[in-house]
Every structure is written in C-alpha cells, then in structure tokens.
A and B are shown apart, each in its own frame.
Chain A
Amino acid sequence: MRRLLFTGFNAFGQHEFVNGNAADCNAGFSELKAPFSDKNQCTISIAWRYSALAFGRKLWLRGLLAECPNECVTLEAPGDIKALAAGDTHCLVLLHNGQLYRVKPNLKAELLPVRLEAPPRSNSGTKRSIFGIPKVPELSIEHIACGSHINVAVSSENAVYSIPSCLHQFPGRQFRVKQLECGHEHAVLLNGNGDVFTWGNGLRGQLGQAVLKVEEAPLLVEALAGIKITRIAAGGWHSAAISAFGDLYTWGLNCSGQLGVRVMKPGGLLKEPTVYPLPQLHDLPECGCSTKSDHSDDDCAPLGVFAGSRHTLLIRRCGGLWATGWCRYSQLGKQLHLQHKNLSYLDVFQPLDGIALDTTSDRVLCGPWSTVIFCGKKSED
C-alpha cells in the first residue's frame, strides 16, 4: 500500500490526515490524505505555514494562506508537475517539460512563468537553422530548491540560477547535477562524480568551508574532495553528506543538536551555540536491528540523509530510521515524547523505534519543522 506518513508542526492545517490526529505507526507518525495512483508520482514540498502537493497537473496549497488555518486552493499547471519548492513567500513549480513557474501562497494564487536571464554563453553553441537565423535554445530547468533567503534553479545545460540571474555555468558534457538542496540561506549541490559544491551564506558554517563567509557562486567543498559523495542534505543552517564508503558527514550550526555531534564542556554543559565549519565524520553507534543475519557493518551503513530547519534524519541500509536535532514540534515523531516528557532535542543520532523502511522504495522528505515518509510500495494489501 502506498501512503504518506507525517509528523511535525501542523498548527495551520497544512496537512490533512486520514485518521484525524491519531498515530498510524508506532513511531507516532500520522497518515496524510494524498491522491495516489500507480502511474503518477505525488510530489510534496512543505513551507512553514503551508504545504504544496502536486499530482499530475494538479497542485494543492493548504494551510494559513490568508487569515485562518485550513485554507486550501487548487490550481492546474499547463503540464505534469515534476518538482515543487515551497518557500515563505512563493512556491516554485517545475514541470516535466523543464518549464518553471511560481505561485504565491494566497487565496488568489496563480501560476506565473519564471523568466530567467540567459546564461552568459551557451554550452551547446547556437545552431543555425536552415534559414540562417540563430535559434535561441529553449531553457530547460532540471533542478529547483529554495529557502527563506535563497532560490536556486539548475538548467539541463548546467547553468546555475539564483532566480532570476545566472550565477554560474558548470562545464557541459561530463558534469551532471545529481542533487540540489537549499537551507534557509545556502545551497548544496552534488554532481554525478560525487563532488559537493556549496554557496550562499556561510556565516554559521553551513558551507563546509574553513572560512565563515558568504560565497556568491558554487564552490567545491575541499574538505570532501576525493571522497565520492552519494547523497546530500541541507537543513536550515546545516548540511549533511553520505559517501560511497557509507560514511556520514555533517557540518554547520549545532544549536539544537542537528549535527548529532555532542560536545560537552567541563562541568557538563553542552557547548552552545556551536558552529562546525568543516564536515564532521560520524562514528555511528551500532544498529540494534534484528534484520541482519551475518554481523556486518555494511548492512547498517547510512544510505540516505534528510534535514529540516533544525533536525536531521538518516536511513540505514537495514531500513532503520535514525534521527537527531530539534523535536519540540514532534519533528522526530510523537513517540519520543511519550518516552521523555518535555524533550526538546536529541544531540546524538538515535533510532526511531516503531518504524522500518523499505530501502528500495521508501523516501523521506523534511519540512522546516516536520518529516514526511513516502512509503512507496505498490498496493498489494
């Protein structure tokens, strides 16, 4: 059965549940109402006061859109929607044909095309048509991401946009953008080669560069150079990466334990607020899972990492879901709060009991103060 499990901040009715507020799994996640079919993929993106959900050409915005909670608008895009990036003031909508739109999250919401500046030079070169008139190549966007202070798009020609201006042009042929993520004010990009690039505001260490400053254009994270990275994540002011060796790195701000790096000062005080500008390699605790037959570390190596404003989640190969960071709004499931009353954050990665993922199909997505799990199995029960 395919379903979406949610936990976190929902004070504005950003999300609609199948069973009211009741938990639908032991970790304390609740199932979201969402349209599903076997053909079409459902896309979701979460901002602080509203959520955006797309299915085929249809787009729903829900939450506090004008005056009160539970407001909802429905829109139809000119083509099938591939990706969404919901920010405070607008939501970016990317279609499968590479066209980019934006929509303001209010009751009069409408899709407006986003006009991007042409990159300084095109990789493919302009071809002459048979009539001798240079043909302007159609700009096709492949990746989008946004935060409160940043909006990024990457074209199929590897031009990087700080919408609407072109920031940077990665080389054409060999370079393939694999993943793009944004925090509140920084961007992290992973290419097919396993290299990580960051830019934006790095004053809280989120860029993984030794010097804390603002970087206008993508810059290779030197500290990870030579390590093949397979997955990245960008939280509010922190970032994370997983290598092909199964190592987890986190860097940036650790104000709510989001890096999973516990540092105590003599006297037992947590050192805070703490900024880690360089990627920190994690020595994860052994997974207590029962699924492995032979004792091999690889069975439980990190596979995917995801981040919200101040929390981080990790999928391990065995299907275990681990988490650290802020949980005051149940970002990490309601179950934690039954075990520890008044818990406001975890400062080391811990397993979330009562949930096991199918690593072949399940995906995780974080809103600023929430977590969604796509349980992707085709319906069978």
Chain B
Amino acid sequence: MDLPLLELTKLLPRWVDIENLLQDELEARFILKKATSHMEKLQTGISGGDSDEEEEIRYLICALVDRNWERIHTGHFSSVSLNIRKIYAIGCYFKIFFLLLEDTSPAQKEVCSGILDEAQLLGCMEDWSELKVALMDYLDKGKEENPKLLPVLEPLLRVSCTCDIPQLDAPNLKEFQTKCFQAEQPTLLLNTIEHWPARKKWLDLNYLLKVAGNRTVPIEIGSNYASDEWSQQLVKIRDFLERQFSTKKANQEIEYLAQHELFSQIPALKSDISIPDYCSISKDDPPGSVDIKAWLGPAGTISAMHYDPKHNLLCQVFGSKRIILAAPKDTENLYPHESEFLGNTSQIDAAKLDMVAYPLLENVKFYELLLQPGDCLYMPPKWWHYVRSAAPSFSVSFWWE
C-alpha cells in the first residue's frame, strides 16, 4: 500500500466510532467489524494483508453498499432513516479503500471517485467530511489537466425592463423582515451579493472545471422536467461543462445541473459564496438549517411552473433568467399534476398560455421579471414560479423555514 493511502486510512471510522450506530444492524455490524479490524491490522503493520480475507471483505463491503442502496431506494427518500444513509456512506468509504488496496491505477481511482460522489448524493457524510476532502484530493491527484479550454464569460450588461414585483436596493434585515418576509411579498433584492468572490471567479469556466471537473453530479436532460422526454443522468461536471459551454457547441440536448447540493459536495466552491443574512429571519427560534442548491446550465433551461414549501432566495451569480410568478391563492387555477411526484407542478406552459385547454388561467394574476446578474429574488413559501434561462446561467438558491 502506498504511503499517502496508508495515511488516509487513519481518517477512516474505527469500530468504536460506529458501534453505536449499528446497534440494530446485524449485517452492517458483522461486515464493518471485519472491515475496521482489517484496516487496523494494516495500519499497525501486523499483517501484510491476507489476500483471501481481503477479497472476502471486499465482497461483503460491496454487498453492504448495494444492500443499503436498495434500502435508500425503498419508500420515500424523505422517510429513509438517517442511520441507513450513514451506513451507506461508511460502506462507500470502506469500499473505496478496499478497491484501492487491490489497485491504485488511474482507472480504479476513477471508479472510486464515482463511488465517493454517489455516497455524497445518497449517503449522509457529515460525520466524516475530513476524510471526504482528503480522499477527493488523493483521487484527483496525478490527473492530467484537461488541455481543452473553456470560455471566460463576458459579464452581462444590465438591461432595464419592467418588473411586476417590488424592488429593494440592498434592504437591511428589518426592512426585509417587514416588507418581504412578514408581508409574504415576492421581492427583487438588488446589490446584495456583490461581495461574493463567485461573481467574478465563476465567469471563468476553467476555474469551475479545475475545482469541480472530476465530480459526478445529477444532470437533467431535456428542457422541461415535467415532460416525458426528460431524464436524469449522473455525469462528470467536466463532460457537462464541455458539452454545454465550449465555444464550438454541438447541436445537442440541453442539460441542466439543477437543484443539486453542490456546495456540500465541493467545499472549495462554498467559500466563493456566503449565506445571505436574510436567511436568518425565521419564525423558528433558533432558525433552522439552510438548504443551498446550485443551478447551472446554458441558455434555454426551463423549470416548469411549480412551487416549493420553503422560503426561497434565488441568487443570480452570472447570466439572466426570465421568471413568471403566481400567488398561492391561484393554486386551484393552475392545474397541478395529479401524480405524487409532480403534485407541486402545474401542467401549463407559463410562457405560452393555452386558455382553451386551461380556461381557469383567466383568473390568474401572473407577475413577470428578469433576474439579472447580482440580483436576488425572494419568494415566500408556495409561490408558483416558472424559470427560463435567457443566457448561460449560474444561480444559487437558499431554502429555509
């Protein structure tokens, strides 16, 4: 085993760290006990590694990961216990180490990178973030830099246009609380994220490629998630950026990195933004956690008319988005889908209203606006919104209760 890898094993969970977690988990107890004790033996150098035993544990660890993948995919994701997601993540860490014990070739590291990203997507990794970052560094090391160059985007010039909702120039907390939060008033907040390093840094797509290129993320394919043609794929950010943003762009489907917790996956990007103070205004005391999601895509990405259950601050880092809003009181007139998955999504095309098929739309008051770079849109819970990017765009949304 190479030395850097041996160093890394010290960050792996030890049996004492996880024993409590596994109280009622027979199979995880049996398998992780074997795995942790094998790793301890390797660290102390007692064993050069019994290869049969190692092979057996590798098989068991893979089975544990696959088994918990199935458990995570049974029932609503929201009702899957945190314990199962933690066991999944721990299983993934050990799987990566047992694969690297077998082989540390670039191809194997690539496989391990993919496992780490999947653990990020499905598992709960909070307890072991130091290991995650160290492992990411180890796996990315020695990768040849991509010679292909991505463009540096020109900052968009501000255009003046009509805005159907109130605008406030960098309101203070009190002002936000009374005029927006308590009044349940969607508002365009200007000049509130100018200090983010992201505003300049991210325009250089090569920077994103360098920091995030090797990470795998879920990408939405097809312009509208409510259509039949839509699908989701796990792809490397590198491939996604090259397909969607390189200068000689091939004629191909629109892909959208949407609603993804990119910043817990890639801590380096998180230091380019900061959680706006407005998110601390809450009915709960103390305020709960804030979900931070990334939305990156070319011009033409569409989020069909839908609503979210939480307060939402949508911050535009670069590019612009055309947004159409409608109030919660118009829900009955907006034809939500029947299925459970799409119950918060309207069947209408907000950009092209079909009054014949959907006559109740006559009663709806729509509000239109253009979200420009540096702007933030505050939306109270359950406000309907349709979003279409008018240029290559990167937005960050903050959801809180």
Q: CB within 8 Å of B: which residues of A?
A: 9, 11-12, 48-49, 64-69, 148-149, 184-185, 201, 203-204, 211-214, 236-237, 265, 269, 271-274, 309, 328-329, 368
Contacts and interface: CB of A to CB of B under 8 A. Distances in A.
B70 A184 contact: yes
Contact of A49 (B27, B70, B339): B27
12 contacts: A49-B26, A64-B30, A65-B26, A69-B30, A148-B74, A185-B74, A203-B341, A213-B338, A272-B231, A272-B233, A328-B66, A368-B70
A255 to B, nearest CB: 8
Contacts, number: 60
Contacts of A368: 70
A329 B246 CA distance: 41
B340 A203 contact: yes
A124 B266 CA distance: 65
Interface in B125-162: none
A184 B66 CA distance: 15
Q: Is the interface of A mostly helix, strand, loop or mixed?
A: loop
Contacts of A66: 26
A149 B26 contact: no
Nearest to B77: A203
Nearest to A48: B67
Given A64-B27, A184-B70, A11 B59 contact: yes
Interface string B13-29: 00000000000001101
A212 B339 contact: yes
Contacts of B74: 148-149, 184-185, 236-237
A348 B282 CA distance: 53
A211 B338 contact: yes
Interface string B89-120: 00000000000000000000000000000000
A11 B76 CA distance: 29
A327 B64 CA distance: 16
A329 B60 CA distance: 11
Given A68-B30, A236-B70, A273-B232, A9 B340 contact: no
B95 to A, nearest CB: 13
Contacts of B70: 184, 236, 309, 368
B38 interface: no
A203 B63 CA distance: 25
B71 A148 contact: yes
Interface residues of B, number: 24
Given A49-B26, A64-B27, A269-B233, A329 B63 contact: yes
Interface in B310-354: 338-341
Contacts of A212: 339-341
B73 interface: yes
Nearest to B231: A271
Nearest to A272: B233
A211 B339 contact: yes
A201 B30 contact: no
B340 A274 contact: no
B286 interface: no
B75 interface: yes
Contacts of B75: 149, 185, 201
Interface in B261-308: none
Contact of B63 (A11, A204, A213): A11
A274 B231 contact: yes
Nearest to A9: B63
A15 to B, nearest CB: 15
B117 to A, nearest CB: 16
Give the 9 A-B residue pairs with the shortest CB-CB distance, closest first: A213-B340, A211-B339, A184-B74, A212-B339, A49-B27, A211-B338, A212-B341, A271-B231, A213-B339
B207 to A, nearest CB: 27
A49 B339 CA distance: 35
Given A11-B59, A67-B30, A148-B71, 7 more contacts: A12-B27, A66-B26, A184-B74, A185-B75, A211-B338, A211-B339, A212-B340
Interface in B63-89: 63, 66-67, 70-71, 73-76
Contacts of A271: 231
Contacts of B233: 269, 272
B220 to A, nearest CB: 13
Nearest to B64: A11
Interface in B206-239: 221, 231-233
A64 B67 CA distance: 15
Contacts of B338: 211, 213
A11 B339 contact: no
Nearest to B26: A64
A344 to B, nearest CB: 10
Nearest to B235: A269
A274 B231 CA distance: 8
